[in-house]
Structure 1
Amino acid sequence: MSIAAAVAMPVTAVAQSETFPAPQDFSAMVQAKLPSVVGIIATGAEPTEAQRPRPQLPPGLEDFFGMPRPDAPPAGPRRALGSGFIISADGYVVTNNHVIEGASQIEVTIEDDQRITANLVGTDPATDIALLKVEDQDEAFPFVEWGDSRDLMIGEWVVAIGNPFGLGGTVTSGIVSAQSRNINSGPYDDFIQTDAAINSGNSGGPLFDAEGRVIGVNTAIYSPSGGSVGIGFAVPSHVAERIVDDLRDDGQVDRGWLGVQIQPVSDAIASALGLGDTSGALVNDVTQGGPAAEAGVQSGDVVLSVEGSDIADPRDLIFSIADLAIGQEASLTVWRDGQERELAVEIGRQPGSVNVAAQMDTDSDAGEPRLGASVAPLTSELRAQLGLPDTINGLFIQGVAPGSVAAQAGLSRGDVIVEIDNEVADSVSVVRDAMEAAQSENRPVLLRVYRGGTYQFIAVPTQDNDG
């Protein structure tokens, strides 16, 4: 058959009887919401020479340059620009953790470029959410309200407002491209994907639905070029709102913990275990002394449901357990030896749930030195999640409080404290004791830190010592 003959063949027409209204104009909504969207300026301590980026030089040329190098970046405090939004008349502000992490000072810019110093209430690095508080004695702040991201549909209009590249009050629009995206940034990935233009500086800003409700917190982009290519991600409001409420309550986020390592159920594994399909989460290790171990969960069990709700995959189990109350007795249905079994487990608190901001509180225990970092013991689960070798032991830094001695010394999320003053850092009490001893001797404390595949020593001042 020729191409011409193929083109000439009749085509059966499909009636398109349904019509749709044209998209509405967003101008009225944007004008109403703009005053509640703010810029964030996070200023960090001046980087040390070891932390300052160095130019890449051919071998043998390194020693020819004195200090400072002629082509080295200028010295000065580090600054990060981001976005945020006000959620209450008394000045609570939501932004991203990565915008303010490591800052010694945080400022919020409102209308007319007015700057107000903000205090950190708390952070949740796992979802990249931070909560700030600003004060204004004269009048109430304009604020926005949360919507329910679970009601969103793919193709629905959304509007992003923020501070891209420092250009405050920038508005972009697009649609919901996908829901529940996992971009492998953490264990609680559940992002809204949108093609609304999101660029550097939009981080922490709101994603609105067409009616002006916040249905997401803009967090990340996929960008080979560094600019928007129409693939942006936002933390959905049904996740962010719960995290913010928890931070507002006591400055920290408490998540349920089961104490297991899990993996997906493949077709081959399902067949080997006598399962009808691949639903569930296969337990490949149980943490000794954890809630699952106490409840009788064993390696090789497949968790099929929690509190009567089916578990589709490991990610589903992680979210289900995290949302349960600490101390709650929950029912687990597991598959073992070819049959279902019911187990009762008391949900534990996820290790390392520490209030970063509270560690800066000088009203209580005023003489006690504080590191100002949220740390978690390196359990086998956390080590596997972070891809750390079995030889690395210590305390994983989950977050660093702005203005703390940890921030001043250059510690950051992802570092592992291996030793402190030549003592193995295997518990928070070891760190506390070492800092108290260093303070009594009016000297910094010396940390050995694992970072990016290498070790380095970092001197951290105690609260009463500028170092």
Structure 2
Amino acid sequence: MAYISRKRLCISFVAGSLMLSAGGFAPVSAQEIPNDFSAIVRQKLPAVVAITTRQIIQDQTMLDDYLNPFDSRGPAQPQVREALGSGFVVSTEGYIVTNNHVVADSTEIRVVFSDKETSPARIVGRDPATDIAVLKVDPRPNMTATAWGDSDAMQPGAWTIAIGSPFGLGGTVTVGVLSARSRDIKAGPYDDFLQTDASINRGNSGGPLFNARGEVIGVNTAIVSPSGGSIGIGFAVPSRTAQSVVDQLISTGRIERGFIGVRLQEVTPSIAEALAISGSKGALVASVEPGSPAEKAGLQSGDVITRFNGKDVQNVHDLTLAAASQKPGSNATLTRNRGGNQQEVALTIGQRKDEEVQTGAVPSPEAGDQRLGMSLSPIPDEARQQLGLQPGTTGVFVQEVAPNSPAAENGLRPGDVIVSANNHNVTRPSDIQQEWTKSRQQKKPILFRIERQGQSLFVAVAVS
């Protein structure tokens, strides 16, 4: 949620007690506007869930404990923090959508349905850049699922309905209108929020925003407030973005975004005058990455990109969203202005190499579970010296290891740095997942080389 005071602007996300939080198709005609929304709520309420999470907080003292096990101070006690959010079912197979900030770094996740039944959930995938995550629970009999609507067809003034668990009050319904579209609240690089005045509060994070047909047109994510409570300014990730992210997470567990390879800046009136172009619309190319699609297409520093795939580019944000939404390997056209001359340029979209994050929480090794049981991340820069790493060492940092998991049973520990898997260097959590998948397919152990307190050793984890 975002909190605005007269002195400063602060945007943060809060889910329940964690200081992290939430906050159609063609427009419905007058003849279709209901006298009330009880029928829609009655139909959709079973598909909306409350989400409770537990997170073990590992502070710097805990990091010191497992890096220096003989420290005389003794072991620090882990702290458990609980949080609450909302979500909604998108498939009768048990897939549930919520916000990334609701479940990120959680060690235990439970879903509470409208009939008060609870179910353990695991993370299928998450995308911090758009604050979307997908959970999976075991399917229930006669499970109710929502349907996606068309957020692009929503116009300011259209009805919106939010359902969620603000302050733990499950099944809360609020109604308002769409206040605005394409809001950039500086929460991330792909901000394109719907704004609504339907009341959204702490605990609404991850819940659905419906249109008057009962279709999901947004995922409630943030609010602006001087006090922490709703003042009628809430934001939701539009279904156009959320559905694409969710589909990718369900199918692959990760996100692919388009990349053209330019660093951009806004066109100011003085820059436009200096470049001999009219107006200040477009995105100025400050530099071009060597070997990138942009360089191969002939783009140069000083070019101003004014159109992308037939749509006007008003500013840097427009181009960032447009390029990221393209499928890697697809063809695109853009219009550049160089010295006052317009020229159309064709290029092939590359794949953005955003920092990847682990796509699952530390899972309990339940029957049939084929996960390693580790929470992974890039190596923390501030911990390199304590970890005893040589300059230039690359790898993946083991944050947590689930008890009784394959990783734990074979000797992996929090604080280990995995340098290679199956003799292939690793730099991202997805590299390890890829090698683990190969090992399972070949029915052989996965071989890790790890760095532990300045020592190198090999660890083999057998496939169950």
Residue from 27, 35, 41 that aligns with 1:30 = 41
- Corresponding residue for residue 13 of structure 2: none
Write out aligned runs for 1:280-429 (5 A).
Answer: 280-352=282-354, 354=356, 356-357=358-359, 372-373=376-377, 429=426
* TM-aligned CA deviation for residue 258 of structure 1: 1.0
Instruction: State the distance in 1 between where 2:205 and 2:173 align.
Output: 13
* TM-aligned CA deviation for residue 354 of structure 1: 4.2
- Corresponding residue for residue 109 of structure 2: 106
Report Cα offsets for 1:276-334 as digits up to 9, x if no partner: 22221101111222221222211111112223322221111111111222112322221
* TM-aligned CA deviation for residue 254 of structure 1: 0.6
- Corresponding residue for residue 90 of structure 1: 93
Report Cα offsets for 1:407-444 as digits up to 9, x if no partner: x9999xxxxxxx9699xxxx97367899x9xx979985
**Cα separation, partners in 2 of 1:402 and 1:273, compared to 1, 3 Å:** farther
Report Cα offsets for 1:127-157 as digits up to 9, x if no partner: 1000111113x51311111111111121222
- Corresponding residue for residue 147 of structure 2: 145
Q: Is the 8 A contact 2:62 2:75 kept in 1?
A: no
* TM-aligned CA deviation for residue 239 of structure 1: 1.2
Instruction: State the distance in 2 between where 1:463 and 1:320 align.
Output: 44
**Cα separation, partners in 2 of 1:51 and 1:80, compared to 1, 3 Å:** farther
- Corresponding residue for residue 265 of structure 1: 267
**Cα separation, partners in 2 of 1:274 and 1:154, compared to 1, 3 Å:** same
Instruction: State the distance in 2 between where 1:325 and 1:81 align.
Output: 34
Q: Is the 8 A contact 1:176 1:195 kept in 2?
A: yes
Report Cα offsets for 1:42-80 as digits up to 9, x if no partner: 21124447489xxxxxxxxxxxxx9999xxxx9642222
Q: Is the 8 A contact 1:354 1:375 kept in 2?
A: no
* TM-aligned CA deviation for residue 242 of structure 1: 1.2
Aligned-residue CA RMSD (Å): 4.4
**Cα separation, partners in 2 of 1:214 and 1:428, compared to 1, 3 Å:** farther
Secondary structure of the residue aligned to 2:156 is coil
Secondary structure of the residue aligned to 1:192 is strand
Report whether the alignment pairs 1:251 with 2:253. yes
Q: Is the 8 A contact 1:178 1:193 kept in 2?
A: yes
**Cα separation, partners in 2 of 1:93 and 1:270, compared to 1, 3 Å:** same
Secondary structure of the residue aligned to 1:351 is coil
**Cα separation, partners in 2 of 1:228 and 1:409, compared to 1, 3 Å:** farther
Instruction: State the distance in 1 between where 2:217 and 2:449 align.
Output: 52
Residue from 220, 232, 235 that aligns with 1:233 = 235
Instruction: State the distance in 2 between where 1:204 and 1:30 align.
Output: 17
- Corresponding residue for residue 122 of structure 1: 125
* TM-aligned CA deviation for residue 36 of structure 1: 0.5
* TM-aligned CA deviation for residue 263 of structure 1: 1.2
**Cα separation, partners in 2 of 1:371 and 1:134, compared to 1, 3 Å:** closer
Residue from 83, 96, 109 that aligns with 1:80 = 83
Q: Is the 8 A contact 1:90 1:140 kept in 2?
A: no
The alignment-based identity, stated in percent, is 43
Instruction: State the distance in 1 between where 2:49 and 2:179 align.
Output: 26
* TM-aligned CA deviation for residue 188 of structure 1: 0.7
Instruction: State the distance in 1 between where 2:300 and 2:393 align.
Output: 27
Q: Is the 8 A contact 2:89 2:96 kept in 1?
A: yes
Instruction: State the distance in 2 between where 1:304 and 1:337 align.
Output: 13
- Corresponding residue for residue 60 of structure 1: none
Instruction: State the distance in 1 between where 2:333 and 2:221 align.
Output: 35
Instruction: State the distance in 2 between where 1:312 and 1:401 align.
Output: 44
* TM-aligned CA deviation for residue 213 of structure 1: 1.0
Instruction: State the distance in 2 between where 1:223 and 1:350 align.
Output: 34
Write out aligned runs for 1:133-282 (5 A).
Answer: 133-136=136-139, 139-282=141-284
Report Cα offsets for 1:12-57 as digits up to 9, x if no partner: xxxxxxxx888721112111111110011121124447489xxxxx
- Corresponding residue for residue 455 of structure 1: none
Q: Which amino acid aligns with 2:261?
A: G
Q: Is the 8 A contact 2:130 2:190 kept in 1?
A: yes
Q: Is the 8 A contact 1:161 1:202 kept in 2?
A: yes
Secondary structure of the residue aligned to 1:113 is coil
> Which blocks of at least 5 consecutive residues in structure 1 are unaligned?
1-19, 53-65, 378-392, 412-418, 447-461
Instruction: State the distance in 1 between where 2:215 and 2:126 align.
Output: 23
Instruction: State the distance in 1 between where 2:395 and 2:281 align.
Output: 32
Write out aligned runs for 1:416-455 (5 A).
Answer: 429=426, 444=452
Moved more, 287-296 or 209-218: 287-296
Instruction: State the distance in 2 between where 1:396 and 1:184 align.
Output: 31
> Which blocks of at least 5 consecutive residues in structure 2 are unaligned?
1-29, 64-72, 382-391, 436-446
Q: Is the 8 A contact 1:159 1:210 kept in 2?
A: yes
**Cα separation, partners in 2 of 1:443 and 1:267, compared to 1, 3 Å:** closer
